[in-house]
Structure 1
Amino acid sequence: MRVLFASTRGSGHFHPLVPLIDLCTGRGDDILVVAPPGLEPLLAARQQPYRIGAEPPDGALSATLGRVLRLPPDESVSLMIREVFGGLFLDAMLPALDEACRTWRPDLVLHEACEFASVIAAERHGVPHARVAVSAAEFTRSGDALLDAVFESHDRGLADRLRTSPYLTRLPASLDPSPYPRTHRYHASAPSVPAPDRWDDGEEPLLYVTLGTEAGALPTAAGLYRALLDAVRGLPVRVLLTVGHGTDTTDLGPIPRNVRVEAWVPQDDVLRSASLVICHGGSGTVFGALAAGVPLVCVPLFADQPDNARMVAAAGAGVAVAPTGAPADEAAVLGADDVSGIRSAVQLLLKDSSYRARAEQLAAEMRSAADCAELIAALDPTT
């Protein structure tokens, strides 16, 4: 089978595709990844062939993202979906994806949920396509409604065909009911690798603290990390904080004795040993923690993070702290009350075993779904 994978920029959008790319590679399928220039360093480090599309016009993306950051959460999400994912990114990537579908002739297109140019290209050339979830289903569906006019301008009936295409998600039904009629739930098995000794050098509970791959680029990033450090200072725990490769750790000030700071770690490795995750509620971290049965303290900042935080809290698998109603550039500042709230939430989750039990129940439900091999076999149009 020839499988074309398509992603927008940002590792958080690409990583949900990785288990499926690896599975298809292992099956001996022909693989082609098409992505924007921002993903080229990541793709170059992998073994699969890839093609790079175009970027939006100079200045257009930065100007739009500046507007996104200044809006309240709901308005910023709407603008991001309409003008970035459904506008600038779609227009920039459509020529490369149309060319790939026309000349490489895939049997199947798998695209992450916010990448739409590949859907238009696949429909033009009669190629089946399926959508890989990045966020919760209701959040994704609310975004679809904003783009009906965009889809219809390219092909009448396209909006409905997108919604009825296969929707692939790692989240379990009890946590994330899906409005999509062809929902396939699956799990991606993490490689069984012992956690490195540097995370097992004590008996205290291990807390994994991360703000994912995007928050580190905010001008307030150092203050965010500083607040998280203050929240765990002096607690009887070991803390692993990851800050990304773009953060200067000297800006963080004194590091508490119970904290180790790293630029990046393999998430699956540390989650095997973690008692608790403190994060911004990004989908990659939330999905990974729940799959490992680890409860979460979510401190949402923007995008789908408030929705993810509420979902985790409603399921009893964690606590949401200070979901703000402010624009992202203001929300990305944590005050003394937020620090106190995070600290209290950590103490609660470490004391009350029901949060861990609920996270482990969700992990068991996730493991009961089809594995990647079963999923790809079910989607393979050549069999």
Structure 2
Amino acid sequence: MTLAFSRRVRRVLALLCLAAAPAAHADIVIGQVAPFSGPQAVTGKAIRAGAKLWIDEVNAHGGIRGQRIKFVTRDDAQKPEETVRLVKELIAQDAPTALIGTVGTSNLEALKQDGVLEKSRVSMVGAISGATSILTARNMYPVKASYRDEVERLFLQLAETGRTRVGIVYQDDGLGRDALAGALDSAKAHGLTLVAQTGYARNTTEVAKPVEEMVRQKPDVIFLAATTAAAIEFTTRYQAAGGHAGLYGMSIIDVQALLKKLGPDRARGFAFSVVLPTDDRLDREVVRDYLRLSKDAKDAELSSRSLEGFIAAKALTKALERTGNFTPQALTELLDRGFETDVGGHRLTFGKGQMPSRFVDFALLGPGGRLVR
């Protein structure tokens, strides 16, 4: 065998080995299907901005074990059928290792019913819902407490203040009905009277009927199991109609967006449950990280809801670091077996039958829009 021939053989063998081996520095793809248009766009954009903030930070420091993260997104306008179609499209076209931040109980329930995540063995960290149906779903992992836990904390607060006549305005879908069921149970447990309950169509801000009903019934307090745009619209119309009841919202409402739209005077007294560290909790590492990075990012889409996307992305990267094998199967197996992590003052527990978090607090908007606990 000549020396030249031997060199050619070695080069061919080296090329064959390179072709057969996985790319050492291929991107880790993380996908998000969420509403970036329509009434819930404010939430989808906020979650995306928060997730991107942490992903950009990881990439700026070399990625995960030398592999960068590629963040790909699709806009479902919060239509469940579009969510299913676009998740399937994203999985087929981009082969993501994981998904993150799909918004809406009905959208997530559509994915659950279709079974696309189980069939593909792709998991979603940071599913944006606290409904019981999602907390018990396979391959879906929220990063916060349940809606039932939120409602219980809010109604306990009402019982302690002696405000017993409660009206409920709820989004007529899985989100609202789950919160309504929790409200019925909590009201009974704490001796509260539900004087009115009325719904509005999901993915709309059609709240004229709820406003009329609450003005007529004159409750002490109105509990809004509503999304951000609908809550803002209800508050605006209710106050314009002369309504004076205290307003209590769930954590899904973007309080910064509400404050910006209504102004500090009209928003004063708006109370809400808190299921994630708020941006005034400087004792939490995750909050300090978020504030430092968001200040430098200057992203107009960052808001109070963005911290949920930030926490979800941080938890997801910690899970990927643990696997050391950036495949959907490896991540899903880890999360199924059980994975506990602390993202910087917010502890999470993933696994079959596990509640990811039990943290629920309560706050309200005080003078000048200041957060009061």
TM-score over 0.5 (shorter chain):
no
TM-score, normalised relative to structure 2: 0.36
Question: Does 1 or 2 have the higher relative contact order (CA < 8 Å, sep 6+)?
Answer: 2
TM-score, normalised relative to structure 1: 0.35
